[in-house]
């Protein structure tokens, strides 16, 4: 059992080592972090509690039936079931993208005495659940990696109960920072420019950049949500961005240290409130926290 373990999630040495030696090694050059830190940050149960805190402002978790689109390595699923008592389910495609996430999730879920069959081998575009099945549908850092993000949004709303809440956290490519590469960048209007920026400015392999759905931004999100209908948009994350800029609390996870230094300097200079207002006006806040309630 690693030092990451908490009362709500046991993180095994075997799962940690497997993640470090696979994805951690693979993304070392891309993200500019050590494989061990990648494994630490990905599997840290405190991150799941941080996510629950953001969601709680719109939909408290306790006792709810929850679907997570993109279960990843399973830490959210474990913590939310054990700490908040959710009736938790998830989807994580086998052998796609972060190829061994589902296998690691099974290792951890089993080690925590939970049922691995609740994690289904399925994409977000085709959820294997009936209409109106869940109180909450949640996803974090997954939408930008899907083949059809608009269909993922439609499916998420489909499986929500009337009055249920969907929250999807993802990058805003009109913003200034990409966490996949730990890179500062101008607004991305098309993926070709993103690949060029990664290759020639960041001096990193642009292959992974080519797989990211850089069309995702506030304008795209509003358009897709309007096409779905029958929902109330609660926030796209502007409020949380303003709060984090004001308090200079951007998180401690992975490449966010780069952003933290910039935001911390702005806080010392007393310009964060103004900067937050200008960035929001330019539709450049990050991340997007797409939160909607399905109409009753």
| 103 located within any domain | yes
Residue closest to 217 by CA, chosen among 242, 244, 195, 186: 186
Residue pair 191/212 in contact (Cβ under 8 Å)? The answer is yes
| 6 located within any domain | no
> Across the chain, how many H-helices and E-strands are there?
13, 9
List all residues 6 or more positions away from 119 whose beta carbon is below 8 Å from its beta carbon.
71, 74, 77, 89, 90, 91, 92, 102, 105, 106, 109
Assess whether pLDDT exceeds 90 at residue 274: no
Apex CA 174: angle with CA 41 and CA 155, to 5°?
70
| 176 located within any domain | yes
| 2 located within any domain | no
pLDDT in tens, 67-76: 999 999 999 9
pTM for this prediction: 0.92
3-state secondary structure of 220: helix
Assess whether pLDDT exceeds 60 at residue 252: no
Assess whether pLDDT exceeds 50 at residue 254: no
Which CATH number characterizes residue 154's domain?
3.40.50.150
Q: Tell me the DSSP string of 150-176.
A: HHHHHHHHHTEEEEEEEEEEE--TTSS
| 27 located within any domain | yes
| 4 located within any domain | no
Looking at the structure of the chain, the number of domains it has is 1
Residue 19 structural domain = 13-294
| 8 located within any domain | no
| 7 located within any domain | no
């Amino acid at each position: 059992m690693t030092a990451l373990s908490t009362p709500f999630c046991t993180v095994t040495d075997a799962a940690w080592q497997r993640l470090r030696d696979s994805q951690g090694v693979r993304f070392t050059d891309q993200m500019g972090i050590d494989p061990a830190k990648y494994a630490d940050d990905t599997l840290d149960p405190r991150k799941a509690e941080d996510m629950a805190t953001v969601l709680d402002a719109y939909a408290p978790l306790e006792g709810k039936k929850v679907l997570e689109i993109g279960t990843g390595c399973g830490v959210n699923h474990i913590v939310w079931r054990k700490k908040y008592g959710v009736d938790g389910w998830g989807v994580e495609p086998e052998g796609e993208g972060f190829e061994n996430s589902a296998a690691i999730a099974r290792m951890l879920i089993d080690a925590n005495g939970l049922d691995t069959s609740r994690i289904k081998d399925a994409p977000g575009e085709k959820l294997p659940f009936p209409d109106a099945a869940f109180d909450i549908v949640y996803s974090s850092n997954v939408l930008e990696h899907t083949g059809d993000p608009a269909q993922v949004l439609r499916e998420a709303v489909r499986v929500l109960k009337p009055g249920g809440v969907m929250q999807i956290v993802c990058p805003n490519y009109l913003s200034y920072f990409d966490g996949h590469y730990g890179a500062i960048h101008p607004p991305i209007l098309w993926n070709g420019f993103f690949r060029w920026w990664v290759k020639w400015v960041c001096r990193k392999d642009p292959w992974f950049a080519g797989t990211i759905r850089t069309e995702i931004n506030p304008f795209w999100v509003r358009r897709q949500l309007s096409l779905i209908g029958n929902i109330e948009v609660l926030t796209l994350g502007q409020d949380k961005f303003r709060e984090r800029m004001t308090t200079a609390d951007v998180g401690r996870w992975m490449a966010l240290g780069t952003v933290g230094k910039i935001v911390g300097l702005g806080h010392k200079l007393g310009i964060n409130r103004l900067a937050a207002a200008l960035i929001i006006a330019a539709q450049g806040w990050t991340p997007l926290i797409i939160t909607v309630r399905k109409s009753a």
